[in-house]
Amino acid sequence: MDIGIRDEILAKRNQIPKWVIFLFLGIAIVGFGTFALNASGENAKDIWQIFLVNFLFWTGVAQAGIIFSCVLRVTDARWGRSFLRISEGFGAFVPVGFILLLVLLFLGKDYVLPYATEHYHHPKDIWLNMTFVQARNIILFAILIVLSYAYVRISLNQDLVGNDNTKKENGYFPRLRKLAPAIVISYAITFSFFAWDFMMSLNPHWFSTLFGPFYFMGSLIAAIGATIILSVVLKRYLGLDDYLGQYHYWDMGKILQGFSLFWVYLMFSQFLPIWYANMPEETGFVIKRVVDEPFKTFSWVVLTSCFIFPFIALIPRTNKIVTPILVFVAAVSFTGLFMDKFLLVVPSLTDQLSFSIKYILVTLGFLSAFLTTFLLFINKYPIIPYGDPFFDGKTGHGGHH
């Protein structure tokens, strides 16, 4: 470990102004206050719908940040070591996501989960039994959180404790290598259940065997986009140019482009058999979203934002290494994936496509809560994992040339 690099990175802690964190915290309080004031009464269903959309999106992004770190470690990706801590920082929101899950399952179930108040034919009544739904989602998410906590703690210790534990043969490194695949598998299982119980089952007659992967891979793509955006902001503010060079963003741009193609592959793989089978219980879900207004136009906006624009825009090499362009492309993709959750949830619960100031405030509340937890984490811990044995130092000093 280079002592000079270690001291330089440790000196970057506590550099984010407190007023920025308090600003986001204030917006988060306003957003969740708006939700709390409108969570009961005649129009409560509308506010619970946007709560569900935001819960699914932001909890997915938070957990997928840790998954991106796990993937980089499992694949021994030297190029991506500088992004590890930033993506791990997303996980600071995961405990908040667990609280929001409890709020949804115990306070919001009658507003947005049709099977909480209606009964369907056997065996769906068994699967959609509310006690069973609550138990499986809480237990699975709790297991995932415990594994994620252990992973992030060991990752931090690799930097803060250091010494011989950073060697590949012993200490922290093999423990991280063992934990990472377990977390990835746990994530795939847990978030498949989220997809089935909180999106697919809102329309109890429709089903898709690929819906779980479609959700958790979409969350991973959003986390990659968020990693690009936040790393560029932090790079400029904290002076991380020596650790995040153009080749790092070239690689991130290629990953974002490739996963955008994978997203549309998963979407089309679900759409194609529904189209050629032409079974009424399946086609209704698609027709409402891609044929009938007001959701038809919205669907094209989602497709353009999540696939068409990112894929085409990232073909030139220049657009992957010029960070303002890459940030813009990542922001469009990120926004499109949020709208995708909206498109999967809301048409199953209502025929109207409506936006209001309450929707915006609640969404800003979730965004600000996510950024507050992320900044608190980044402000406290080393932003670059200098203790990782695959960390290749400063750009141009053992890294890319």
| Residue 294: cis peptide before it, omega within 30 degrees of 0 | yes
CA distances from 158 to 71, 176, 208, 244, 290 (A): 18, 10, 42, 20, 49
- For 289, residues 6+ apart whose C-beta sits below 8 A from its C-beta are 295, 296, 299, 343, 347
What is the spatial distance between Cα 51 and Cα 143, in angstroms, rounded to a whole number? 24
Q: Is the pLDDT of residue 227 over 90?
A: yes
CA distances from 174 to 65, 74, 156, 158, 267 (A): 20, 10, 14, 11, 36
Q: What per-residue confidence (pLDDT) applies to 170?
A: 52
What are the pLDDT digits (tens) for 67-81?
999 999 999 989 999
205 or 177: which carries more pLDDT confidence? 177
80 touches 384 (CB < 8 A):
no
What are the pLDDT digits (tens) for 78-134?
999 999 999 999 999 999 999 999 999 999 999 999 998 887 776 778 888 999 999
Q: How many CB atoms lie within 10 A of CB 245?
A: 19
Q: What per-residue confidence (pLDDT) applies to 399?
A: 43
Q: Is the pLDDT of residue 265 over 50?
A: yes
What is the spatial distance between Cα 104 and Cα 134, in angstroms, rounded to a whole number? 10
CA distances from 372 to 16, 96, 375 (A): 11, 11, 5
| Residue 123: cis peptide before it, omega within 30 degrees of 0 | yes
Q: How many CB atoms lie within 10 A of CB 38?
A: 19
